[in-house]
Amino acid sequence: MTVSDPVTAAESAQQAAAEPCVLLKLGEIVLKGRNRHQFQRMLEQNIRAAVKDTGIRADLTRREGVVILRVPLQPGAGQPGASQYGAEHAAAVEQVLQRVADVPGIVRVCRAWRVAKTPEATVEAAIDLTRGITGPFAVRPRRRDKRFPLTSSEIAVLVGREIQKAHGLRVDLGRPETEVFIEVDAREVFVFTSGLPGQGGLPVGMSGRAVALMSGGIDSPVAAYRMMRRGLRCTFIHFSGMPLTGPESVYKAYALTRGLDRFQGGSRLFVVPFGKTQQALASSGADRLQVVAQRRLMLKTAEALARRMRASALITGDSLGQVSSQTLQNITALDDAVGLPIMRPLIGWDKTEIMAEARRIRTLSISELPDQDCCTLLTPKRVETRARIDDLRKIETRLDADEIADQLAASAQEYRPE
Ligand code: ATP
Ligand code: MG
């Protein structure tokens, strides 16, 4: 790539005093062809909102396939000159980095230095970034601006030698433990290491909006998270057994919503007291169909909420065969209850896989708190594993289930965890 910007090395040296910043590598987003700009806009909007949570001001700039976040110095902070970015600035940059690591659509978050376009500044930044590492390393240079005084291989040799001298580390180009990337740009040089993995996936909002059915259990928060990562913004709905049970499951749903909020921001939780409705189903003689009938009514209520929210899908944590309500035949009967598609990202996951993911996204410990799940209320001795749709529809006609679902959705209590 040739650069038309006529910046001399002397000018750029002035423009870029060595500055720690955050460099974000975008994933799939760069492959999206014509939609790419929309993806980029949405991701940047989400990054800005996430950074705003920290209360730290950060400036976002976009470069080929990466986003740079710079934390400007507050007036009066530090002295002008190379050492003006002190420990406080470094801590603010680190806080921004940790925060954006939760934003879907980013594959890696890297600690980076933005330095003047000189070999000396580049070497200094590389030495700083490799402080504390022990294994072999490799330098990976790339010159976007060919007017840099050194070629790519000369950069690699120089920086590699200086890191070896400073820290006594070994070079291994084939299987390094740490890679030091050097990108020479028109105005500056970025030096960074591989950093932390991001969430990957697509920016939240890219695929639209969905209503996620969230129990206090392990599976549903993981399911919602997986769909957020595919670009769906989630609104949560929880059914409590109240007034027949205590409010514990509501606290859990609230805590889970709050925990998941760091991946999307602006989350809303709707809580439906479902106990009376469950009782009405039982009185209407649902018997062995009680569990599946309840789940259908939950789905109908979620669908009514989805219409209000302009959401176009529902999300559940179903996993094939995990419990008796999740046989293929029962899942078919559940799909029949609503017109919207039901997304079941965990359908092919084992419980151990789901638990590992729940641990990673830090919802597991909340899900494992004790509560009385409304589904265990009024559970018949034997649960039907092959529910017939006609039988379910008959029960629903007797009760006027669609009307109940509309009322439940309209009267749900809304919470907005900060
Ligand atoms: P989970 O761990 O998510 O509770 P589960 O293994 O207990 O799932 P079920 O109880 O059959 O399985 O529930 C399957 C799915 O139905 C849940 O993942 C969730 O999406 C939805 N669901 C069940 N109970 C509730 C509830 N009380 N409120 C909202 N959604 C629920
Ligand atoms: Mg459950």
pLDDT tens readout for residues 97-148: 999 999 999 999 999 999 999 999 999 999 999 998 999 999 999 998 888 8
Quickly state the pLDDT bin for 32 (edges 50, 70, 90): low
- Same domain (yes/no): 326, 410: yes
Ligand 2 centre from 308 Cα, in Å?
25
* Verdict on whether the full-model pTM lies above 0.75: yes
pLDDT greater at residue 80 or residue 394:
394
Encoded amino acid at 175, one letter: R
Question: Any idea what DSSP says for residue 191?
Answer: E
Instruction: Note the pLDDT tens digit of each residue in 165-203.
Output: 999 999 999 999 999 999 998 889 999 998 899 999 999
Arithmetic mean of pLDDT, 39-63: 94
Ligand 1 centre from 292 Cα, in Å?
12
In which region does residue 71 sit, left (phi positive, over 0), alpha (psi from -120 to 50) or beta (all else)? beta
Domain of 99? 9-197
The single residue listed with the structure tokens 């990673």 is 360
- Same domain (yes/no): 161, 215: no
pLDDT, mean over the chain: 89
Strand ranges (E), 35-136 = 59-63, 66-70, 106-115
- Same domain (yes/no): 175, 305: no
Distance CA 186, CA 52 (A): 29
The reply to whether ligand 1 has any atom less than 6 angstroms from the CB of 371 is: no
Quickly state the pLDDT bin for 374 (edges 50, 70, 90): low
The reply to whether ligand 1 has any atom less than 6 angstroms from the CB of 238 is: yes
Going by CA atoms, what residue is nearest to atom 25 of ligand 1? Answer: 215
Residue 258 tokens, joined: 């709050």
Ligand 2 centre from 343 Cα, in Å?
16
Which pLDDT does position 375 carry in this prediction?
65
Instruction: Note the pLDDT tens digit of each residue in 224-274.
Output: 999 999 999 999 999 999 988 889 999 999 999 999 999 999 999 999 999
- Residue 326 pLDDT > 80, yes or no? yes
Which pLDDT does position 38 carry in this prediction?
84
Atom number of ligand 1 nearest to Cα 220: 3
Question: Is 3 within a domain?
Answer: no
The reply to whether ligand 1 has any atom less than 6 angstroms from the CB of 323 is: yes
Best mutation site among 211, 215, 219, 374 for ligand 1 pocket (most ligand atoms within 8 Å of CB): 215
Q: Which ligand places an atom closest to the C-alpha of 239?
A: 1
Kindly report the backbone phi and psi dihedral angles of residue 215, in degrees, each rounded to the nearest multiple of 5, phi listed first: -85, -170
- Residue 155 pLDDT > 80, yes or no? yes
- Same domain (yes/no): 189, 214: no
Flag the least confident range among 147-161, 165-179, 328-342, 384-398. Answer: 384-398
Q: Which ligand places an atom closest to the C-alpha of 321?
A: 1
Which pLDDT does position 7 carry in this prediction?
45
Quickly state the pLDDT bin for 81 (edges 50, 70, 90): very low
Residue 220 tokens, joined: 């549903």
The reply to whether ligand 1 has any atom less than 6 angstroms from the CB of 301 is: no
Kindly report the backbone phi and psi dihedral angles of residue 84, in degrees, each rounded to the nearest multiple of 5, phi listed first: -70, -20
Ligand 1 centre from 372 Cα, in Å?
12
CB atoms within 10 A of CB 259: 19
- Same domain (yes/no): 277, 382: yes
- Residue 10 pLDDT > 50, yes or no? no
Arithmetic mean of pLDDT, 327-340: 95
- Same domain (yes/no): 126, 250: no
- Same domain (yes/no): 358, 281: yes
Give the end of a domain, one of 153, 177, 197: 197
Which pLDDT does position 186 carry in this prediction?
87
Arithmetic mean of pLDDT, 307-313: 97
Best mutation site among 218, 219, 372 for ligand 1 pocket (most ligand atoms within 8 Å of CB): 219
Going by CA atoms, what residue is nearest to atom 16 of ligand 1? Answer: 316
Q: Which of 237, 162, 198 has the alpha carbon at shortest distance from 67?
A: 198
- Same domain (yes/no): 115, 232: no
Give the end of a domain, one of 197, 223, 250: 197
- Same domain (yes/no): 259, 402: yes
Quickly state the pLDDT bin for 1 (edges 50, 70, 90): very low
Question: Is 182 within a domain?
Answer: yes
Flag the least confident range among 21-35, 322-336, 341-355, 401-415. Answer: 21-35
The reply to whether ligand 1 has any atom less than 6 angstroms from the CB of 239 is: yes
Domain count for the chain: 2
Ligand 2 centre from 291 Cα, in Å?
11
Quickly state the pLDDT bin for 11 (edges 50, 70, 90): very low
Atom number of ligand 1 nearest to Cα 237: 29
Ligand 2 centre from 389 Cα, in Å?
22
Which pLDDT does position 145 carry in this prediction?
82
Which pLDDT does position 4 carry in this prediction?
39
Atom number of ligand 1 nearest to Cα 240: 27
Which pLDDT does position 386 carry in this prediction?
76
Question: Is 1 within a domain?
Answer: no
**Are the C-beta atoms of residues 365 and 218 closer than 8 Å to each other?**
no
Arithmetic mean of pLDDT, 324-337: 92
Best mutation site among 213, 235, 344 for ligand 1 pocket (most ligand atoms within 8 Å of CB): 213
Q: Which ligand places an atom closest to the C-alpha of 274?
A: 1
**Are the C-beta atoms of residues 284 and 277 closer than 8 Å to each other?**
no
Kindly report the backbone phi and psi dihedral angles of residue 363, in degrees, each rounded to the nearest multiple of 5, phi listed first: -105, -15
- Same domain (yes/no): 281, 322: yes
Instruction: Note the pLDDT tens digit of each residue in 342-368.
Output: 999 999 999 999 999 999 999 999 999
- Same domain (yes/no): 193, 242: no
Give the end of a domain, one of 174, 197, 220: 197
Ligand 2 centre from 216 Cα, in Å?
7
3-state SS of 210-238 is EEEECCCCCHHHHHHHHHHCECEEEEEEE
CATH number of the domain enclosing 150: 3.30.2130.30
